Amino acid sequence: MLLRPPKGEPLGLIHSLGKFSVFLGLCLFLSVMVSLVFQEYGTAVRLGIGAGTAFLLGLLMKKLPPPSDELSLSGAFTLATLVWIHATLITGFTYWETGYFASFLDACFDAMSGYTTTGLTLLQDLDHAPEGLQFLRHGVTFLGGQGIIVLFLIFASHGAAEFYQLYVGEGKDERLWPNVLHTARTIWWISMVYLVLGTGILYPILTNLGLKPTRALLDALYLFEGAWSTGGFAPHVQNLLYYHSTAVEIVTAIIFIIGSLNFAVHHRIIQGNFREMYKNSEVRSFAFTLFFLTLTAAWFCAKAQVYPTFSTSFRKVFYQMASAHTTTGNMTLYARQFIHDWPAPALFCLITTMVIGGSACSTAGGFKGMRLSQAFHTLLYEMRKILLPTHAVSTLKMHHRKPYLFAPEHGYKALFIIFLFTALYAFSTFAGVLAGYPMTDAVFEGVSAASNSGLSCGITSVGMPWYLKFVYIVAMFLGRLEFIAAFVFCGYSFAFLKGR
């Protein structure tokens, strides 16, 4: 690992970005094939233009000389940022070509929302969108959940050590295996197994609801991709409310709760270590905050007579809270019901779950349950230092994959990231207030965008100001990459412009 960029590395980054662009073009081409199968020839041509653009740009960029040495730490993080920006612009251009978006900015908003698994959308006439576009949108959010760099590494990397920094730059820091390439393959293998199982379970449920076999199969695939990636995309404007099915709610809730867990936990369970589910500090943190905040919100909703009984209140509230806590964004309510029907304490609980988010190294967003657990352990550690005698040694244990002694340095780093997320939430909220929206609405939508949750109270629409769309795009991006890669990119770019 090199801390200082080797000479000629910036051009080498463009070469590596070209390899990714070729790979992206091949991924986009799958939607062209789907359009052809459904005889959507006009859509196939438009999607083909986007796929061809990515492919040709990639070939041109690959003509530049490759990196002459290992990627530096700053170079790897910069490349991770460039990959995400490039993917958003190319995919946004592809969306815009279909004619279902009012502007290029709207299309890029949807692309960023998909890749970051946020789930907010500006697509017009969603219920009648062509199948090729639907397939692409849900494929993008599924790809973003596992990580576009994670999949790219499977095809483009030979397992070189420096590619671990590229992997970390995407907001992941877990190695399931010593080799990062093996780790990437394991993540996708886990996801593909769940994809077959989840789609297979949803398909008969949807056919029993009256959907035709082909429609049921596609909707089952789309609902799984949206839930597993904790992205929340659905093929209908009403989201999950469209189906009016308790079975669909239960299955999707199970899928996105499982999808929000750390891939390391999945790996441990697959290896036969089932005790990891109840011993893991992150899982415990998630379970406690989900059920405590759900009970609190359900009690306030029942007290305000939003729902007729407490059991009904708990069922309705639990789905929205689980969707928010896993940062999925699937909804069984209309957007404005959050603001008009839910009492303020219940709404506060819902926003709190979005703020926290899911697990580290998962498909979820937010500042993550692991950091909340580390922050709590840091508080206990500092309290012990104050209460115990000066010569006493204070130790705390945590469990993540295996028991280990808690190091306060990890807690301080977690608190720093939590501070950055809090600042991002405040900035997104402030932008909403400046755009003229009420404070409660601005907080809800701003936190949803920055935490990659995707629940909406109605602000996200084609008619919202262009600058607020841009702020939400930046918020989704920073929240997904967890700041560090973006900060390094800014510093790297500034140094390059200064000739350093």
Q: What is the pLDDT of residues 20-32, one digit of tens each?
A: 899 899 999 999 9
Q: Whose structure tokens read 């596992």?
A: 146
Least confident residue range of 262-276, 292-306, 339-353, 436-450: 262-276
pLDDT attached to residue 3: 47
pLDDT greater than 80 at residue 196: yes
> Which amino acid, one-letter code, is at 313?
S
Number of domains in the chain: 1
Q: Residue 400: its pLDDT value, please?
A: 59
pLDDT mean over 208-235: 93
> In terms of residue numbers, what domain contains 104?
9-258
Q: Per the domain annotation, does 394 fall within a domain?
A: no
pLDDT digits (tens, 9 = 90+) for 415-457: 888 899 999 999 999 999 999 999 999 999 999 999 999 899 9
pLDDT of residue 7: 61
How far is 67 from 73, CA to CA, in rounded Å?
A: 13
Helix (H, G, I), strand (E, B) or coil at 404: strand
Provide the token pair at 204. Answer: 């008969």
pLDDT (0 to 100) of residue 188 = 79
Q: Is residue 333 part of a domain?
A: no
Reported as a pLDDT band with limits 50, 70 and 90, residue 134 is very high
Closest CA to 447 of 434, 466, 461, 432: 432
3-state secondary structure of 444: helix
Confirm whether 160 is domain-assigned. Answer: yes
**313 belongs to a structural domain:** no
Q: Does the structure show a pLDDT above 60 at 256?
A: yes
pLDDT beyond 90 at 48: yes
Q: Please say whether the beta carbons of 125 and 100 come within 8 A.
A: yes
Domain membership flag for residue 349: no
Backbone φ/ψ region at 421: left (φ over 0), alpha (ψ -120 to 50), beta: alpha
Please report whether residue 466 resides in a domain.
no
Is 63's pLDDT higher than 90? no
Token pair, residue 76, equals 């790897």
Cβ-in-10-Å burial (0-12, 13-18, 19+) of 337 comes to middle
Structure tokens of 313?
């209140």
Is the pLDDT confidence value at 165 over 90?
no
Q: What pLDDT score does 277 carry?
A: 73
In a domain, 293, yes or no: no
pLDDT score recorded for residue 496: 75
pLDDT at 491: 86
> 312 pLDDT band (50/70/90 cuts)?
confident
Indicate whether 493 belongs to any domain.
Answer: no
